[in-house]
Amino acid sequence: MPVLDLLPDSAAVEDGALAIGGVRASELADEFGTPLVAYCEATLRAQARAYRAAAPEALVAYGSKAFPNLALLRLFAEEGLGADVSTLGELELARRAGVPGERLVVHGNNKSDEELRTAAEAGADLVVLDALDEVERAAAAGVRRVLVRVTSGIEADTHEAIRTGHHGSKFGLPPEEAVEALRRTAAAGLDPAGLHVHIGSQLLETQAARMAVEWLGAFAAACRTELGGWEPAVVDLGGGLGVRHVEDEEPPSVEEFVSELLQRLERAWDLHGLPQPLVVLEPGRSLVGRAGVALYRVGAVKRASEATTYVAVDGGMSDNPRPQLYGARYTAVLADRADEPGEHAYTVTGKNCEEEVLVRRVLLPEPRRGDVLAIPAAGAYTLAMSSNYNLLPRPAAVLVGDGEARLIRRRETLDEVLSLESP
């Protein structure tokens, strides 16, 4: 069944019923309610191990913005991963998860003094400078070791909102300013450990990332000349590897993506006579995307026109804004009739008061009120970007494996949502 390729490693269909981690998806929906995101523990560990195997010498820091969650941060820490954090909230969560300072990478294009101070207190090994005035502000906050994020000018082939390496990006410093930032670190008493690039997210091929690595080699060599022999001890290549949400997307595997980048880096560094650096990788989506399956309950089924029949589920853009924001495509399957051939094309919509579309024209057997609908590859940037639009409480998440499910984030209650109002 082709949809199985998009689902977690432990997904199986028995007697027509989709199971994840040995638990029927519809049972998860009954027990924990919907919308729900079910994460497969085996897939999370397998993805983490794939990164560690492809880059045994590197620091792999989970890009925690993809799904900031205590259980996942702990699980990845067990697998030897660190965390990339970009706000006080993400930093605090990583600290509570026990991620050691030497595996913490702190980002942010507009860091507050409090964020810089907390990074220093947490003993974060690497703080990534993203603005010229951060040099002195980081030093004053007690930060010691820094990277400088530089914009390579390379345009990744991805949605414009998640492309970050081009000239004019709000992230990183243009090359001349990055050199200036490095120059100023010494006077400020900082250790300029190296450089950072991140060209974009949901990359479905390696070309732009490979070019960025080559560009970075030349830039590092130029820095050496400009800065009297300085060479980067650390090179952080960011995240970016995409996941497959629908059958016609074909991202490279973790192994392919990482080994191509590392080979390119080794060659570029040799070419410029630079000593091989410690590499940092910051994958987010590719660690958690395919591990997570979103489960919804079908409500209204409505024939809106000759061409369109809607299946409305009990969530929507409030728990997955990606189709609305980036034109992201997903597919869907009815959890208890997963092996039945689809008869008609249905458009999956939600409860939010907009013409939102979660999945456009997916072939399904006739959906009925009460069915559980599963959306594969929904583990990254869904719950993380969820909102209370239309005062919908945010969904819960569970971790499944070996026939058991454990709540890792409880559902928000309506009282919690309403409690922010002044009486």
Tokens standing for residue 251: 């991202």
Binding of residue 316 to ligand LLP (CB under 6 A): no
Judged by CB under 6 A, the residue of 283, 323, 350, 365 near ligand LLP is: 283
Nearer to ligand LLP, 204 or 227 (CB): 204
Judged by CB under 6 A, the residue of 326, 360, 361, 407 near ligand LLP is: 326
Pairing, β 36-40 against β 292-303? antiparallel
Q: Is 71 helix (H, G, I), strand (E, B) or coil?
A: helix
Judged by CB under 6 A, the residue of 111, 285, 297, 337 near ligand LLP is: 285
Tokens standing for residue 400: 């499944």
- Give dist(CA 417, CA 50) in Å, integer: 39
Nearer to ligand LLP, 13 or 143 (CB): 143
Tokens standing for residue 183: 């120059």
Task: Tell the smallest beta-carbon distance from residue 59 to ligand LLP (Å).
Answer: 13
Q: Which stretch binds ligand LLP (CB under 6 A): 2-10, 239-247, 258-266, 336-344?
A: 239-247
Judged by CB under 6 A, the residue of 282, 319, 356, 371 near ligand LLP is: 282
| 98 backbone φψ class: left, alpha, beta (φ>0; ψ -120 to 50) | left
Judged by CB under 6 A, the residue of 21, 217, 240, 277 near ligand LLP is: 240
Pairing, β 191-196 against β 234-236? parallel
Active-site residue 40, yes or no? no
Nearer to ligand LLP, 25 or 208 (CB): 208
Q: Among 345, 342, 348, which residue's Cα sits nearest to residue 298?
A: 348
What separation in angstroms does the CA of 74 have from each of 8, 96, 254, 395?
A: 20, 9, 21, 21
Nearer to ligand LLP, 8 or 63 (CB): 63
Binding of residue 111 to ligand LLP (CB under 6 A): no
Task: Out of 161, 353, 363, 414, pick the active-site residue.
Answer: 353
Residues numbered 366-385 forming contacts with ligand LLP, rule: CB under 6 A: 381, 385
Nearer to ligand LLP, 118 or 164 (CB): 164
Nearer to ligand LLP, 47 or 309 (CB): 47
Judged by CB under 6 A, the residue of 232, 238, 323, 393 near ligand LLP is: 238
Nearer to ligand LLP, 218 or 385 (CB): 385
Residues numbered 171-200 forming contacts with ligand LLP, rule: CB under 6 A: 198
Task: Tell the smallest beta-carbon distance from residue 43 to ligand LLP (Å).
Answer: 16
Binding of residue 239 to ligand LLP (CB under 6 A): yes
Task: Tell the smallest beta-carbon distance from residue 17 to ligand LLP (Å).
Answer: 30
Half-sphere exposure of 159 (CA within 13 A, CB side): 13
One-letter amino acid of 208: A
Q: Among 7, 2, 78, which residue's Cα sits nearest to residue 400?
A: 7
For ligand LLP (CB under 6 A), the number of binding residues is: 22
**CA pseudo-torsion sign 88, 94, 100, 106:** negative
Q: Among 267, 268, 348, 283, which residue's Cα sits nearest to residue 310?
A: 348
- Give dist(CA 70, CA 64) in Å, integer: 10
Task: Tell the smallest beta-carbon distance from residue 99 to ligand LLP (Å).
Answer: 15
**CA pseudo-torsion sign 360, 365, 369, 375:** negative
Binding of residue 66 to ligand LLP (CB under 6 A): yes
CA dihedral 108, 112, 114, 115 (to 10 degrees): 0
Judged by CB under 6 A, the residue of 43, 169, 286, 331 near ligand LLP is: 286
Tokens standing for residue 324: 């609305």
Q: Where are the alpha helices (DSSP H) in 274-380?
A: 285-288, 322-326
| Residues at the contact surface with ligand LLP, assessed by CB under 6 A | 63, 65-66, 84, 107, 162, 198, 201-202, 238-241, 282-286, 322, 326, 381, 385
Tell me the catalytic residues: 353
